[in-house]
Amino acid sequence: MTVFQHTKWAASINLGWPNISGDIRSHRQNTRFTYLITALLAVTSYFPATTSNARVPPLIKTDRLYAVPEEFSTGTVFDDRTGWGDTTTDIVAGKPPEFSRRRAGGWVRFDTSTIPDVAIIKSVVLHLNVSKTSENGCVIDMIQLSHDPVFASYHLTWYDLQYGSRYVRDADMRTGEWQTRLADDAADHLDQQLESDWFAVGFTYEKESKDALEYVYMYGWDTDLRPYIDVEYVIAQRILSANWEPPFNVTEGDIVTMTAEVEGFPFEAKAKWRIFEDDLLGDDEVINPKIKSLPIYQEAGRFFIMGEWTTEWLRDRKKIPDYYFEVSIGSQTARSGRRFEDKLHITRAVDRNPPAPSPAAFETQPYTLTPTSIAMVAAEATDPEEFGVEYYFVCEPNGGGGNDSGWTRSRKFTDAGLHPNTYYGYKTLARDRSPNHNQTTASPTTYLYTFANIPLPPIIASPTPWTLELSIQPNLNPEATEYCIKNVTDGYYVSVTGGYNSDTPVWQTSGTWGTVLMVDLTPDTVYAFAVKARNISGTETKFSKRSTGMTASLPPDLYPTDILQVSDYNRTDNVQRWSVIIANHSTAGALKKAFKIKWILSEDTRIDDTQDLIVNESTVKEVFYPGQRKTYSIDLVIPEEGMVNKRIYCGVVLSDVSGETNERNNTIYYDKPLQMGRVIK
């Protein structure tokens, strides 16, 4: 801020300098008032040259304020035992002879309307002319008056004299010209009541002796030696206005000019500029705008600062966004108008730039999510023109069921409906949402396999005392999918021959495994088996649900082991010779057994001696030694009825002589159908 020290001159003297008037905004409230300034010094001597060290000259200067002859600008109040009184010209303080024992107090009032409300008061110096005093002078205090003494009651003025703030204490007054700088409180009080356009100082006598007649007379407003004050103040630095320079309708990238009228700042002062896009729901600030700030310059007695902005376009709800700006110098800030006609309107330039980066890239490379889905995340693309960005994901090669994403604002994409353990490739690209849809080049393609499906539980069949058969169920996995089998009961992986293979899984396709004969099992035992798969990349699934099967019990002591077709089946008499081998399983000793051999024909491999056709039955009594095997043959007559042109099976059932089957697993059958060579007549 610029400080002005005022020189002595009479307000009633016209030096011939021009009057400068203008419109100024109060820093205390948003009111406007018109001010009148009288220039005191020659322009060439007071206004320095426009150099880097020069300062902006003042537009307002106030020097000296006199107690002017309007109503009562000076006066005296005194107390009387019977009431109050006043005089209205000279100032009296103390107990002068004219008032006998009455105690008098004086005051002086100044019109401060010529000091702008925006001024900041630095100091107040009071000048008085003392006409007479008591013989040894008079000691008085100078007091703050909170109430206007011209209009306040005597009681209020007297109250202020007794209790107001002391601007000067114990001033020893003598005749002649007298001056003193009032305490800083006086500058503060004047600053606070500038809008009231008056300032007053009271005088009070401080002697307490009833007999003392100390007093002082000071010339009042109706003399040539009336009181006055010198006021030292500063004009606050201000930004008076801020405006765009025409044209107001431009294209993105054009350079526009911002102008602000200022006062009170040095020429080298720097301005800060901020630019906003006006929006009903919140204004967007232009980040790091390209602005060239120019120094303060003078034009026709006024002072301006300018900035040049290379315009940028921000997205707005309206087709053509509106801009206003804010300029700050030190603590002072001003904003350009926000009416439509006061704002800058920018049309978007044609966008021909694709988003970045180009080529596009993946933030998260495509990865298998499930046997039928693959997920991925594109790297974020940015559009310098801020139109916004869209992404596209391409499935290539497509192993079946794959899909492109189409243009989407999401950076995430999951392709579902794929095939298990199948080869796919994906790449991504981006484009902006401008009318041109500027597009990046595609990212490199990422290739991968989907997971294999978890196999279905295997099928367990054909139990014997020492073996079970297992068939893998692929569950829609392709032929190239590999599997391993685990004997869950005994805790080992199955070898290629169906036996023990330690903790190392054996991987083969389901076609290579075929129907696997699980060997080296224990009779009459429940076994659980599970299968898992892996895709071509080697990623394994979980194990399937378990399947269980039970091995057969050990056969009885005597049981049929083999059944053979001995004779040529093309015999014309419908007689065919068959043999069955019966063995002694026991090792305990010789067995003497009587049993029946039933020969049965069936249309399938399930032999049931209660339902199928029994073509022969014979009773045998034999002694079998441990491990002994005996062969029994028979000529079977194949009946014509029901057997013409059919494939039939032959089986043997052993039973005791009572006809009841006394053991389990004592039935065998010929596991090839009888090939009837010709129609049996």
- The whole-angstrom separation of Cα 217 and Cα 89 is 11
What value does the mean pLDDT take over residues 226-236?
86
> What is residue 189's predicted lDDT score, i.e. its pLDDT?
93
Q: Which residues of 350-371 are buried (b: 16+ CB within 10 A; e: fewer)?
A: ebeebbeebebbbeeebebbeb
* Segment 433-442, tens digit of pLDDT: 888 899 999 9
- Tokens 């602000």 locate to 260
Q: Is the pLDDT of residue 666 over 60?
A: no
Give the integer Cα–Cα distance in Å for 366 and 465.
51
The model's confidence at residue 21, banded by pLDDT at 50, 70 and 90, is very low
Identify the pLDDT of residue 340.
Answer: 85
**pLDDT (0 to 100) of residue 34:** 27
- Alpha-carbon torsion, ordered 481, 482, 483, 484, to 10 deg: -170
CA distance 437 to 384: 13
Residues pairing with 582 in the sheet: 560, 630
| pLDDT for residue 567 is more than 80 | no
Both tokens of 110, joined, read 């100044």
Distance CA 244, CA 256 (A): 8
Which single residue is written with the structure tokens 């419109």?
A: 23
In percent, how much of the chain has pLDDT > 70?
73
Confidence of residue 25 (pLDDT cuts 50, 70, 90): very low
Q: What is the pLDDT of residue 5?
A: 31
Residue 80 or 652, more confident: 652
pLDDT band per the 50, 70, 90 thresholds, residue 88: low
Type of residue at 548: T
Other beta carbons less than 10 A from residue 213's beta carbon = 16
Quote the DSSP letter at residue 421: T
pLDDT at residue 40 tops 50 = no
Which residue, chain included where needed, has tokens 């039955």?
617
Alpha-carbon distance of 24 to 186, in angstroms, equals: 25
pLDDT band for 318, please (50, 70, 90 cuts).
low
CA distance 35 to 24: 8
Which pLDDT does position 363 carry in this prediction? 97
pLDDT digits (tens, 9 = 90+) for 493-523: 999 999 998 889 999 999 999 999 999 998 8
Give the pLDDT confidence score for residue 186 in this predicted structure: 93
Q: Which helix (H) or strand (E) holds 109?
A: strand 104-111
Q: How far apart, in whole angstroms, are the C-alpha atoms of residue 500 and residue 490?
A: 9
Say which residue, 489 or 266, is predicted with more confidence. 489
Backbone phi, psi, residue 38, to 5°: -105, 115
Side-chain half-sphere CA neighbours of 347 within 13 A: 7
Most confident residue range from 214-218, 326-330, 544-548: 544-548
Which range, 259-263, 327-331, 351-355, 544-548, has the best average confidence (pLDDT)? 544-548
**Per-residue pLDDT tens digits for 338-354:** 888 899 988 877 778 89
- The per-residue DSSP string of 373-410 comes to EEEEEEPP-B-TT-S-EEEEEEE-S--SS-----SBS-
pLDDT band at 668 (very low <50, low <70, confident <90, very high): low
What does the block give as tokens for 536? Answer: 């071509």
Q: Is pLDDT at 36 greater than 50 in this prediction?
A: no
Q: Which residue is it, tokens 């011939």?
A: 16
Q: Compute the distance between CA of residue 486 and CA of residue 404 in angstroms, rounded to an integer.
A: 40
Phi–psi pair at 202, nearest 5 degrees: -105, 160
Alpha carbon dihedral 378, 379, 384, 387, in 10-degree steps, equals: 30
Residue with the larger pLDDT of the pair 221 and 449: 449
Q: Is the pLDDT of residue 600 over 60?
A: yes
DSSP result, 331-371: TEEEE---SGGGSEEEEPPPP-PPPBSSS--EEEEEEEEET
* Sign of CA pseudo-dihedral 109, 115, 117, 122: negative
pLDDT at 264: 75
CA distance linking residue 199 with residue 110, whole number of Å: 5
CA distances from 521 to 309, 466, 494, 506, 554 (A): 90, 5, 12, 19, 12
182 burial via Cβ count (<10 Å: 0-12, 13-18, 19+): buried
How confident is the model at residue 640, as a pLDDT?
A: 62
Share of the chain above pLDDT 90, in %: 40
**Does pLDDT of 393 surpass 70?**
yes
Structural contact between residues 146 and 170, judged by C-beta atoms closer than 8 angstroms: no
Strand partners, 626: none
| Res. 100 pLDDT band, cuts 50 70 90 | low
Q: What beta strand segments (E) does 255-358 contain? A: 255-263, 272-278, 284-285, 290-293, 297-299, 302-310, 322-329, 332-335, 344-347
| Reported pTM | 0.42
Q: How many CB atoms lie within 10 A of CB 629?
A: 11
pLDDT level of residue 209 (50, 70, 90 thresholds):
low
**In this predicted structure, which of 159-163, 404-408, 460-464, 608-612 has the lowest mean pLDDT?**
608-612
Structure confidence by residue, pLDDT tens digits, 41-74 = 222 222 333 333 334 444 445 558 888 766 568 8
Give the lowest-confidence range in 203-212, 543-552, 631-640: 203-212
Residues 241-247: what's their mean pLDDT? Answer: 94
Mean pLDDT across the chain: 78
What is the DSSP pairing of strand 456-461 with strand 468-473?
A: antiparallel
Q: From CA 570, how far away is CA 296, in angstroms rounded?
A: 127
What would the two tokens of residue 528 be? 């659980």
What is the structure's pLDDT at 647? 57
Task: State the Cα torsion 414-418-422-428 to the nearest 10°.
Answer: -30
